Chains A and B, each alone.
Chain A
Amino acid sequence: MPIRTEPMTVNVGPQHPSTHGVFRLRITFDGEEILEVEPVFGYLHRGTEKLAEERNYVQVVTLTDRLDYVSSMINNQAYCLAVEQLLEVEPPDRGKYLRTIAAELQRIAAHLMGIGFFLQDLGTLGTPLMYCFRTREKILDLFEMLCGARITVSYLRPGGVFADAPEDFWPALDRFLTDLPGELSELEQLILENEIVMVRTRGVSTLPLDMAINSSVSGPVLRASGLAWDWRKAEPYDAYDRVEFDVPVAQNGDNYDRFWVRMQELHQSARIVRQCVEQIEPGPVRLDLPLVLRPEPGREAYGRVEASKGELAFYLFSDGGISPYRCKIRSPSLINLTVTEHLLVGWKLADMIVTLGSVDINMGEVDR
């Protein structure tokens, strides 16, 4: 006699350790297989866009730190580029290079977080995560030298960065760049070709390229599906047009490829930082702008960067006042989440956790 079975709906989250924040998934299971997925978010909504409308242009920089709190520098960069477009100014060269260095270091830190937690979700119980955090810790120490804070940096300002790097920053950065390849190869040796990781992630939750493009997915998730699309190449900002780097692309769009693309990008980021250190020259780091900025009324700007998770953009509209009339944030994590259903349906519960880890979302950015 067959056993009577029926689908069961399970809530995963919002307080679930592997959803990377307060993210909730309402999943209908048939046994272990996923039949239906409904992502529910909004638990971390802080009204950043509205708050930006009542702060002046420089004060908003502190809000952008808290969007994707593992890549604050890049958020700062996107916002500052938008304000500079509004004001039609361009930061001095040294400022641009410092921004690029800061953003690329932050990308390494953010990717290490993504990789570490992805492997943690696979069940590696901490070891690779700690290796990732060891490297990330050094980057955070560098940020402390640069700007006095480790996570909520607020280092960039419209028109450059707030201060030049201290003298002891450059030797420390040199040491870090010397140590980095060894640490990364250690991590690669540990996990990149591990058979268990391969079996668990290869061919799981594939995202075809046309699907990725149609859902306007960006960042490593898109590049893992086979399109070499990177805003640093497509529309260079700051100092990216003066450095050489490759855009790693994978073909299958499965969990392993997303992980692999991030691993390769670590090397490219380090390459960019090295070139910036060679090219940077003494000079001013910040334009002499007033403390309270007043762009011309009616102007609008769209500042766009390649953040660690994809395309991050700020749309600003000025009415001539001291704060933006409208500030719209296009956050990569939210858009990348739109393919969740496609990625998860048909796979097992254990793969769901891994897939979420490989998409690498950050709820601070999804809910804003």
Chain B
Amino acid sequence: MYGLAMVKGLMVTLKNLTRKPFTVQYPEERLTQHPRFRGEEFVWYEERCTGCASCAKYCPLGIIKIVTSPSETAIDQGDKYRLEVFDIELQRCMFCGLCVEACPYDALFMGSGFEQGKYSRKGMFISIDQLRQSEKHPSTFFRPQLESTGYNPHKNRPLDWKEVGRESWNWHRQEKMGMRLASGPDLDNGSAEELEPAGTSSSDGSNGASS
């Protein structure tokens, strides 16, 4: 019979009329993201970072800028390099997470937020100071060690740098101590000259590396 299917369709509409809405009213109600959510802003642990610039090299857009200099004060604690600049140009970042994937020392994590709209382009820039001071709610993206503990960046407390590694901290300290430059400026001279980050001096010539 002509029109029967339309009546059937109308039944669906009626059924849905009485249903609870599926949508949420965003600014008032919020959905929580999964712990693996790749978001802003990046969580960076200076204590873990060796300045190897693997992240800068692996970034498809080359928006991470790292400048290191020979560390004089912290050598006893195992720090060979002092990080001077660690900038992330957030306006071009696409949150692919390849920098996190490339980090061998679990120093860089994706963040868990997504509401970081800014009024000016200058604001779309994460500097080393912001990274140092921001609250550390790392995403569990590409970090199985966090996932296995059931960590949820949206609910749980900020994490300390000693809690986030995939190896124990002792392993990491030894790794950092063992980082020697094959060639390079003599540290005793105390020259202020900028060192190439260890990663960029290889012959790959890939884009993205910066210093």
Contact = CB atoms under 8 A, between A and B. Distances in A.
A189 B97 contact: no
A145 B147 CA distance: 12
B142 A162 contact: yes
Contacts of B139: 148
Contacts of A194: 5-6, 9
B105 to A, nearest CB: 14
Contact of A189 (B12, B34, B204): B12
B142 A163 contact: yes
A180 to B, nearest CB: 15
Contacts, number: 87
A148 B94 CA distance: 12
Contacts of B171: none
A186 B8 CA distance: 10
A163 B12 contact: no
B96 A154 contact: yes
Interface string B95-118: 111100110000000100000000
B98 A322 contact: no
Contacts of A196: 6
B68 to A, nearest CB: 21
B9 A144 contact: no
Interface residues of A, number: 36
B161 interface: no
A275 interface: no
A18 interface: no
Contact of B36 (A148, A186, A292): A148
A148 B110 contact: yes
A45 interface: no
Interface of B: 2-3, 5-6, 8-9, 11-13, 15-16, 22, 33-38, 58, 60, 94-98, 101-102, 110, 139-142, 144, 147, 204, 206-207
10 contacts: A55-B206, A58-B58, A148-B38, A148-B141, A154-B96, A166-B147, A186-B16, A189-B9, A194-B9, A291-B58
Interface of A: 54-56, 58-59, 62-63, 127, 131, 134, 137, 141, 144-149, 152, 154, 162-163, 166, 168, 186, 189-191, 193-196, 291-292, 322-323
Q: Which 3 A-B pairs have the closest CB atoms?
A: A148-B38, A193-B5, A59-B60
